[in-house]
Amino acid sequence: MTTLEIRDLHVDVAQSDADAEPIHILKGVDLTVSSGETHAIMGPNGSGKSTLSYAIAGHPKYVVTQGSITLDGEDVLEMTVDERARAGLFLAMQYPVEVPGVSMSNFLRTAATAVRGEAPKLRHWVKETKEAMTELDIDPSFAERSVNEGFSGGEKKRHEILQLGLLKPGIAILDETDSGLDVDALRVVSEGVNRYKERENGGVLLITHYTRILRYIHPDHVHVFVNGRIVESGGPELADELEENGYERFTAGVRA
């Protein structure tokens, strides 16, 4: 059983101008995600959803000014980025980066070695990787291509979910994994997330604007995120309301 607890989280984001005051984005977020649960965070552009994911992962640009993040009682904020990954946190990024000169196969095995604490046996690793790629309809030739270099948006997102399946984290944070996907890619990626949850009993924090991915990944809890806060939580029926009526009920009269 793995539990991620976020309490009264406030986060500032540094601006490109070093002399400019940081922007206060998160304004008191409370959230608990446990093994076997899927939480969907939905909200309009600029509401702070991605800031939450980066703060959990440890991006240096996002500074926690108040509150706490713990994983099974351990202080996540005291961990380096790699320590957070080894502890069982995983972030599938909205915009996966390209890493020229590093093959996918080397990247994946190096990541697995770091997370598992020892290098996987080569014969078993090759079999494990091939099976995972087949499940995600990834061409085996991609294993020898540089990480995300020249990949389409859908290919990048499939490789994020490939990492999820191979690294087997306790808690997976998926930051708009559905953005830029066509219908077929959305289905494949969603099935990959569902396999992870079923096989590993993982907890999922799914950040999205739209309800279309929720047709494939069924949330246990839905949270509406507005102006750096969770303003309402509920079950899947809350996503249905958002699909029908949008965010107007939640954004009307909201002040910074």
pTM of the model: 0.93
Residue count of the chain, please give it: 256
Token pair of 178 as six digits: 């559905």
DSSP 3-state of 120: coil
Work out the mean pLDDT of the chain and round it to a whole number: 94
What backbone phi and psi angles, to 5 degrees, belong to 248? -55, -40
Encode pLDDT of 42-53 as tens digits: 999 889 999 999
Q: Which domain holds residue 143?
A: 3-251
State the average pLDDT over residues 220-236.
Answer: 96
Q: Is residue 116 part of a domain?
A: yes
- 217: domain CATH number is 3.40.50.300
Phi then psi for 126, rounded to 5 degrees?
-60, -45
Looking at residues 49-71, what average pLDDT do you find?
96
**135 is a domain residue:** yes
- Spatial separation of the C-alpha atoms in residues 204 and 169, rounded to whole Å: 10
Q: How many domains does the chain have?
A: 1
Whether residue 256 lies inside any domain: the answer is no
Adjacency order of strands within the sheet including 38-42: 89-92, 171-175, 203-208, 38-42, 221-226, 229-234
Mean pLDDT within 216-237: 96
**Is 138 contained in some domain?**
yes
User: 134-171, pLDDT tens digit by residue?
Assistant: 999 999 999 999 999 999 988 999 999 999 999 999 99
Residue 87 lies in a domain: yes
